[in-house]
Amino acid sequence: MTDDHTFEPAGERDGVSRFLMRSNGLEVLVREDRSAPVVAFLVLYRVGSRNEAVGYTGATHLLEHMMFKGTTDHHRDRGTQIAAVLERVGADFNATTWLDRTNYFETVPTGQLDLAVRIEADRMRNALIDDGDRQSEMTVVRNELERGENEPLSVLDTYAHATAFREHPYHHPTIGWRADVEGVSTDRLKVFYDTFYWPNNATAIVVGDVTTDEALATVARHFGTIPASPEPVPGVYTTEPEQQGERRFVVRRAGADGIVLLSFRTAEAAHADSAPLAVVSALLGTGRSSRLYRDLVDTQLASDAAASAERFHDPGVFQVYGFLLPEVSHATVERRMLETLEKLRNETVSEAELEKARRIVLTAIVFSREGATNYGYELSEAVSSVGWEWFFAFPEEVERVTAEDVKRVAIATFRRSQLTAGWFVPVGGEEEESLTGPDAGASGESTERRSDTEEEDQDNDTRRLVPMAAAEPMGHATHRTGTFAERTARASLASGATVLSLEHAADPTVAIRANLRAGSAYAEGPRLLADVTARMLRRGTQRRTAAAFSEDVESLGAHLDASAGAFTVGVRAHALREDTATVLEAMAEMLREPRFPESELEKVRAEVAAEIRLGQDSTSDRAFERLTELVLPPDHPYHETPAEARLAELADISVADVRGFYERHYGGATLTLAAAGDVASDGFHAVAERLFGDWNGAAPAHVERDVTPARSRGREVVPMRDKANADVVMGLASGLRRMDSDYFASMLGNAVLGQSTLSSRLGIRVRDREGLTYGIASRFFGASLVDGLWYVSVTVQPSNAEQAIASTLDELRRALEDGVTDDEVDAYVSNFIGTFKVGLATNAGMVGRLVDAEFYGLGPGYLDDFGGIVSAVTRDDVNAALRRHVHLDRLTTVIAGEF
């Protein structure tokens, strides 16, 4: 217990209690949540890039990195570096810097709160901020900056803010301008630290399996001796003047497809327009029934479209994105985007569309707060933007948004004088750099395209064939104790399907997942056929057209989609508890009654093609794809063919191909259906029986193949233009499958080598000590029904690539020759167990573990047995597994970038 005078109670709402530490002004927010054996701790500092100026932009972010380098009590030289200490207990931890704030957070198993609080209190005032560390970490941050420079959308967004804001510090990217990152001094960082890292400029948030008294006592024990800042913490007084005309910029460089980004100046988060703008964002850009999707994607002008409304401490921007299809002009897409916005200005939205948009925003808020980690993080975002009470007030404001509010903010926001328009133009595209070429404001000729069969489908899309009515409720979950095996209801249906459910009443949500053995490994023709078929499931059913199906699902604010992997198709749904039965009905409809219209296949082909082209602009994707091509035989499920071949195969996929694959591989015999959350198991199973009990169809398919021999294919460079960052992968065929006896020994060995960029052997050597990379990691990829790869990936400035490769190989050689230690194995056994527990803190985490366990025939009891299985692995097991699967003389190296 704390002394009654330590904290001053300062408010309570909906389970969140606020306190102020009397001695130093620290704000503390506590929420008890006993639904999972985890507790989240977060410290928010009210300092972000808005507190910077030219000469030291990026200082907040670089300082955040430095806070992991060491304190008087936690340091690499003492074997107590922060990352290693946290990973030993399986913590999920990180830190992020943004415009208005910096936060540090840990989610730990129950009983480990003291560790997290002790670390955060230590680095609040005891960070070392050594010049040698600053120099090595500067190159790490510079590499992070270069990674962002590789991505056209990231560059476009940086330019958009720098153009929209000329005086306010939102002009600067959070990561900083390159010259400032390279040139900021250690002394400047220390001044920044001594100015902002004080308890009276911070909020501590505790959410999870802990009493309020215990949380306060722990915070008081470690933060109570820290004084308030000796000087007032400086604020930001710069405001952005009114924009007096549209601004434009164009980014021309090598890349995939073009992008149009429109940014409009908006008000701060606390403004009354924030909630209406959130609703506007949803109705414009969320889902396939949104206005932008209908106007840009359905008309085949763009592969995707989106909208977002910033909610920051100071006025921000509302952004609208259009991702062009090939041969469509930027001017055409921009004009259509502006027409969509103009229509919103000129008409009043219907009550149905308004209610759908409000529901989308409100359910997204509920989903984003699921679990202790997410709840604490979202609470901190409210604190940084407005204040803790806004966390509760904002959803209420959304509920009150009217059609008149939507029209009012659309008129006020979408004005030419407020517009900053940016184009990303791939070099070699239709808009070359020419003084007499199409200008940024040109209207251009429309290149809207429709398929020969689309007219019929468009007519159908004006009506619902069968309206989606709310299904009978399934009942709520009850609070249950016991093992996962005891709490999980499992049943087999007459069709061969397996149904699993786990009642978990912590949040008013339910996660549902359906898995079928219909992945790309089973495709008789092009492997993309499995992915295309999965995507087509939501593109129209026998009861509803594609547009009607999307409209009905999205009107609930629910998420429902399907995607194909190597062995399974996963259908994932996330819904509010009252909508669970309705969403499950929709899932059954898309799985059992797909229509596969030709017009939707054209859109899916365009969507997949855009993703392939985008991947060809990614150094990491190109390097990994080439590694699989070199190391694995063509018939291996993970062998990736060149992009040109995939695009050609994609173009040839027909409706008959899709229907044939569906008929051969979809059916109850391969279905696993699972749910976790606020739903009664009896009700869920009853509805599942009705919907899937008679779904006969394909018999389970099997994939059998021998282990792939590991042979080196030498070294290869994939040249890519205009890339500030290169990606290096070194790998080989691993020979490891999921059910092999040495699976966990191999995974633990890899964890020692390179699981963590911050604390593994490779991370400590190549990132922490030598500062050569922002990220280095090793992985066993694809150890499933077949073997996959073991590889190391490292992202580097091209000039550092050779040194990074040499250091990586040297560290791996030491580890394989000397072996790992008992302490390392013990640390990662603890890490695996703790991480597994933390991963079960959300409905999605639980349902994913259940489905995976069922896929490998392990059953729900695996969730209880995991700790014992991992704990049985010895150091000798780990060393033997590493030497069996990792052979440096058989590595193949691929470097992708401007190298």
* Per-residue H/E/C for 199-218: HHHEEEEEEECCCHHHHHHH
Answer whether residue 3 shows pLDDT above 80. Answer: no
Phi, psi (rounded to 5 degrees) for 461: -70, -5
The residue-averaged pLDDT of 425-454 equals 48
pLDDT of residue 75: 85
> Which pTM does this prediction carry?
0.91
Answer whether residue 429 shows pLDDT above 60. Answer: no
The residue-averaged pLDDT of 340-348 equals 97
Tokens of 715: 């070294």
Q: Determine the distance from the C-alpha atom of residue 658 to the mean position of all C-alpha atoms in its chain, rounded to a whole number.
A: 30
Sign of CA dihedral 631, 636, 641, 645: positive
Inter-CA distances, 357 with 164, 275, 508, 572, Å:
27, 11, 20, 21
Q: Give the pLDDT confidence of 49-87 residue by residue, as tens digits.
A: 999 999 999 999 999 999 999 898 998 878 888 998 999
Q: Give the pLDDT confidence of 401-420 residue by residue, as tens digits.
A: 999 999 999 999 999 999 99
CB burial string 706-728: b at 16+ within 10 A, e below: eebebeebeeeebebebbbbbbb
DSSP symbol at 860: T
What is the percent of the chain where pLDDT is above 90?
Answer: 85
Which of 570, 591, 573, 596 is CA-nearest to residue 583? 573
pLDDT of residue 428: 61
pLDDT of residue 446: 41
The residue-averaged pLDDT of 101-129 equals 96
DSSP 259-309: EEEEEEE---TTSTTHHHHHHHHHHHHSSTTSHHIIIIITTTSEEEEEEEE
pLDDT of residue 455: 35
Q: For all residues of the chain together, what is the average pLDDT?
A: 92
pLDDT of residue 700: 74
CB 515 within 8 Å of CB 851? yes
pLDDT of residue 520: 94
Tokens of 288: 């396939």
Q: Which residue has the higher pLDDT, 642 or 444?
A: 642
Q: What is the largest CA-CA distance in the chain?
A: 76
pLDDT of residue 79: 80
Q: How confident is the model at residue 456 (pLDDT cuts 50, 70, 90)?
A: very low
Cα–Cα distance for residue pair 502/489, rounded to 1 Å: 7
Q: Beginning with the edge strand found earlier in the chain, give each strand of the sheet holding 102-109 in spatial order.
A: 7-13, 16-21, 27-32, 202-208, 38-45, 102-109, 92-97
The residue-averaged pLDDT of 332-346 equals 97
Cα–Cα distance for residue pair 614/626, rounded to 1 Å: 16
Which of 699, 672, 895, 694 is CA-nearest to residue 799? 895
DSSP 786-834: S--EEEEEEEE-GGGHHHHHHHHHHHHHHHHHH---HHHHHHHHHHHHH
Q: Give the pLDDT confidence of 705-751 residue by residue, as tens digits.
A: 888 898 999 999 999 988 989 999 999 999 999 999 999 999 999 99
Cα–Cα distance for residue pair 890/790, rounded to 1 Å: 11
